[in-house]
Structure 1
């Protein structure tokens, strides 16, 4: 059985570390014309085949509600970062594709943001980074039983 006190201590440590690192990395977007939420959308889209992703996959990767993602994507379309079209494989679905301007903006910010992440995470060895990745994936993959 899991030690409840240790579980709470581990959770608090994880939560505080995530919050502090997130606050520090947020400054990567201060001098950018792209918000962190827009970056997150483009991260998902640019990883897709032909710089395209289903809107439902973008929504699944975001930490905001589906209506908020839809409004964000619409703003990004209006600002020329994305284009939208119906999903030919799902009549109710939508595909979003990064435009050249979107890819260019994303790459510019990704270079700065990636360097900041690497610098901040350099406190950990490669083995520790792999362990952190694996443990985080394990926490995300397993839904606790009631």
Structure 2
């Protein structure tokens, strides 16, 4: 059985580390270029074929509610960062695609943001980074049907 005190201490440490790191790298985002939420949408979209993704996949990757994602996407369409049209395979869904403007903004921010992340994470060795990735993946897998997964 897991030691309850150790579990709580580890959780608190993880939570505080995440909070501090996010605070430190949040300066990479400027409202005039991209907000962090807009960057997250474009991150999902740019990973898709032809820089497009289903809106439900974007929503699944965000840490905000579906209505909030829908409003965010509509604002991004209005800003010319993405385009949106009905999903031909799902009449209730939508496809979003990065525009040239959105791709350019994403790439500008991604360069700076990637550098900030790498710099902040450089306090860990490559082996520690791999271990951290495996451990956090295992924690995230705890929500999957059937329980925790092994990395």
| TM-score (normalised: structure 1) | 0.96
Unpaired runs of 5+ in structure 1? none
SS of residue matched to 2:83:
strand
User: Structure 1 49/75 Cα, relative in aligned 2: closer, same or farther at 3 Å?
Assistant: same
Name 1:5's counterpart in structure 2.
5
Name 1:100's counterpart in structure 2.
100
SS of residue matched to 2:85:
strand
SS of residue matched to 2:115:
helix
Q: CA deviation at 1:134?
A: 1.0
User: Structure 1 81/31 Cα, relative in aligned 2: closer, same or farther at 3 Å?
Assistant: closer
Higher mean alpha-carbon deviation, 133-142 vs 67-76, is at: 133-142
Q: CA deviation at 1:30?
A: 3.5
User: Structure 1 141/39 Cα, relative in aligned 2: closer, same or farther at 3 Å?
Assistant: same
Distance 2:32 2:136 in 1: 29
Give the length in aligned residue pairs: 145
Q: CA deviation at 1:32?
A: 5.0
Distance 2:31 2:130 in 1: 31
Distance 2:13 2:47 in 1: 31
Q: Residues 127-142 of structure 1: matches in 2 within 5 Å?
A: 127-142=127-142
Root mean square deviation of aligned Cα: 1.3
